[in-house]
Structure 1
Amino acid sequence: MKIKEVISVLQGLAPERYAASWDNSGLQVRGTRQDAARVAVCLDPLPERLAEALDWGADLVASHHPLFLKPAAPVAEGPYLEALRLLLPAGAWLYSAHTSLDSRPGGPACWLGDELGLEERRSLEPSRSFGALSVSFFLEQDLGEELADALAEVDGVFGIGQDATGEVRILCHDAAWPPLRAVLDEVLAALGCGHTQYFLTQMRSPSEEVGFGEVGELPEPLPYDAFAERLAGLLGRGFWTQTGPRPETVARVAYLPGSGASALDAALAARADVFITGDVKYHQALDAVGAGLHVLDVGHFSLEEEMMRRFAIELEAELPGVEVRFFPGRDPFAVRMNG
């Protein structure tokens, strides 16, 4: 499969328009290979993960965390420079599905809600909403397969049609219009259509809202100890840090994989009995105690490592003929029991 086709699939599963404004989701390193027979998936693009993937023969590595958040010159020794030293001579590509994957509704970041069987689920921390546009233009000839395929590949296009009068109508999200227009101009010029007038209509629906984390109801309330035992089985670990008053029963659960302490207020507003996340700091823990919210800090690694394992399975189903392998990482934190 062509590398550009693999990247198109990645963009479909983790739309870059979903990414937070501060993030660097998307292409991290442009390789020189044209085709992909093997794609590696991992949580962190650490040199040791990249070395394992390249030794396996990966043509492209899809990580969750980006190689960098802000552009940086590769002048200082460290993981960033070492990653480039591995990728560039190999001609391999690196792609990051970070907050673009985190915020995909129903995506692998929602795996905990799936396993807990949460009902009446909604986004814990909505981040962005997208309106929709109807783009119309007239084409004397039939809309060919080549043109339709080129338009369908634009991220955010969700409907294409042509009526008997020759009017072509495309439905897309607002953010998709600039790249869509560039593709239209190029393809129509190649067809000899010259200047084409586009007619845009803002639609009130459908629209799309994305965000981080989820809150939902358990099928039936559970005693706290029973809930904790079930959670431990799902996480594969029986330890975590907890703060705030422990509820007798758990009915409403909020969670946000990765670093979610900033969503404490959202979990409170959602009236969650338990909030599950990672990277809770001391003063945030004090705030949770004061607010009466029970917070389980299960670590940044545990929820997101499982998310990427599931993402690899999803990706393999979308890449026929391409071998996809998940490369497990290692939690940088370890627990030591004293006494």
Structure 2
Amino acid sequence: MHLTDFIHMIERIAPVCGAAEWDNSGVQVASRCTEIHSVAVALDPSEANIEKAVSQGADFFLAHHPLAFKPQPLSGNDSYFRSVSQLITNDICLYSAHTSLDANPAGPVGWLAESLKLQNCKTLEPTAASMQHRIIAPSAASGSIPAVIAGSIRCRHIQGIGYEFEFDTEDIVYETAADHIRQVLPAGTSLLKAEERAGRRELGLGISGSLPCRLSWHEFVQLLEKSVERTFWTTCGPVPETVETVAYCTGSGSSLAETAFARGADVFITGDVKYHTALDTTGCIIDVGHFSLEEEMMRRFAALLAAGAPDLDITFLPSQDPIRLHPVHG
């Protein structure tokens, strides 16, 4: 697959326009290759994971976390230098889908909402929205047209009408999409711009939704235990007697806790809760760990990409939670 087509596929699921302003989503280290065959996917672009990617012959590395949030000098033989050196030496492109992935509630970040069967889900902190467009080629064009063009334009044949092409404005502008479409159709095929879809796709951080039915605190804890693979959690704030509205944010999302509670959340699930956040919270926060929420998200992201690009060898590199529980015997 062409490198840019795969990046378009990533950004269809993790649109860069939805990323937070402070973030560094996108290409971290470029490569000279234009065609890719093997992709490594991991939560972190750690030195150990990059070595694994090299050993499996990957020419593309997709990580959730950026290699760095701001440019750093390659001034010492540290882990950062060795990681960049490995990537450049082995001609591996490193791409980070960070808050761009977090901001698409319909993507892999929605795995916990799916697992808990949350309904009427909404984002807690909107970052962007897009409008869907359609282009119709009304003639019955001959030949086979790909189901996806340029990584983000979806195509389907409608009997008796022709071909319908659909795309979102955060992925590609209309004029560019039309140019790509003309390249796969017979010369002279006319294009009709259909009306924009009424529904907008909202992008944003954090998800809030309702359980199918109200549960007791104990019942909810048992449900969450089945979804989140971790042997311990921490909680802070008042424990509710019952739970119906659940909100969560993957990674370090405790800054959204009060927003969640203001919107009626009974509990807020996240990782990396700090002392003063725990001290001041007005609702119940469950810290299940930064790693547990995002490791599963990236595992599902890898599977989603593999399903959409069967000709690529896409491998998920599992990691271990760097935070461990140490029992103290007094």
The answer as to whether partners of 1:16 and 1:25 remain within 8 angstroms in 2 is: yes
The answer as to whether partners of 1:154 and 1:176 remain within 8 angstroms in 2 is: no
Judged with a 3 Å threshold, the aligned counterparts in structure 2 of structure 1 residues 143 and 17 are, in CA distance, closer, same or farther, namely farther
Q: CA deviation at 1:10?
A: 1.4
Q: Which segment drifts farther, 208-217 or 306-315?
A: 208-217
Q: CA deviation at 1:333?
A: 1.1
CA displacement, residues 116-161 of structure 1 (integer Å, 9 cap, x when unaligned):
111122212222223567999xxxxx99999x98x95275x67899
Q: CA deviation at 1:55?
A: 0.5
Which whole-Å CA distance do the structure 1 matches of 2:8 and 2:99 have between them? 17
1:1-339 matches, cutoff 5 A: 1-131=1-131, 152-153=149-150, 181=175, 205-288=198-281, 291=282, 293-338=283-328, 339=330
Judged with a 3 Å threshold, the aligned counterparts in structure 2 of structure 1 residues 105 and 266 are, in CA distance, closer, same or farther, namely same
* Percentage of matched positions with identical amino acids: 39
The answer as to whether partners of 1:132 and 1:202 remain within 8 angstroms in 2 is: no
CA displacement, residues 65-117 of structure 1 (integer Å, 9 cap, x when unaligned):
11121222322443321211111110111111111111113111111110111
Amino acid at match of 1:12: R
What do you get for the CA RMSD once the two structures are aligned? 3.5
Judged with a 3 Å threshold, the aligned counterparts in structure 2 of structure 1 residues 117 and 186 are, in CA distance, closer, same or farther, namely closer
* Structure 1 residue runs without a partner (length 5+): 137-141, 162-168, 189-199
Which whole-Å CA distance do the structure 2 matches of 1:13 and 1:260 have between them? 21
CA displacement, residues 169-196 of structure 1 (integer Å, 9 cap, x when unaligned):
9976555676x656878999xxxxxxxx
Q: CA deviation at 1:274?
A: 0.9
Length-normalised TM-score, structure 2: 0.83
Judged with a 3 Å threshold, the aligned counterparts in structure 2 of structure 1 residues 27 and 302 are, in CA distance, closer, same or farther, namely same
Q: CA deviation at 1:226?
A: 2.3
The answer as to whether partners of 2:105 and 2:207 remain within 8 angstroms in 1 is: no
The answer as to whether partners of 1:232 and 1:239 remain within 8 angstroms in 2 is: no
1:49 aligned counterpart, secondary structure: helix
Aligned residues: 322
Which whole-Å CA distance do the structure 1 matches of 2:170 and 2:108 have between them? 24
Judged with a 3 Å threshold, the aligned counterparts in structure 2 of structure 1 residues 122 and 181 are, in CA distance, closer, same or farther, namely same
Judged with a 3 Å threshold, the aligned counterparts in structure 2 of structure 1 residues 234 and 52 are, in CA distance, closer, same or farther, namely same
Length-normalised TM-score, structure 1: 0.81
The answer as to whether partners of 2:6 and 2:151 remain within 8 angstroms in 1 is: no
Judged with a 3 Å threshold, the aligned counterparts in structure 2 of structure 1 residues 185 and 33 are, in CA distance, closer, same or farther, namely closer
Q: CA deviation at 1:242?
A: 0.6
Judged with a 3 Å threshold, the aligned counterparts in structure 2 of structure 1 residues 105 and 58 are, in CA distance, closer, same or farther, namely same
Q: CA deviation at 1:313?
A: 0.8
The answer as to whether partners of 2:62 and 2:94 remain within 8 angstroms in 1 is: yes
1:208 aligned counterpart, secondary structure: strand
Which whole-Å CA distance do the structure 2 matches of 1:4 and 1:128 have between them? 23
Q: CA deviation at 1:6?
A: 2.0
Judged with a 3 Å threshold, the aligned counterparts in structure 2 of structure 1 residues 218 and 281 are, in CA distance, closer, same or farther, namely same
Q: CA deviation at 1:330?
A: 2.0
Which whole-Å CA distance do the structure 1 matches of 2:278 and 2:38 have between them? 43
The answer as to whether partners of 1:216 and 1:253 remain within 8 angstroms in 2 is: yes
Judged with a 3 Å threshold, the aligned counterparts in structure 2 of structure 1 residues 208 and 89 are, in CA distance, closer, same or farther, namely same
Which whole-Å CA distance do the structure 1 matches of 2:307 and 2:165 have between them? 28
Which whole-Å CA distance do the structure 2 matches of 1:42 and 1:316 have between them? 14
* Structure 2 residue runs without a partner (length 5+): 158-163, 183-192
Judged with a 3 Å threshold, the aligned counterparts in structure 2 of structure 1 residues 127 and 202 are, in CA distance, closer, same or farther, namely farther
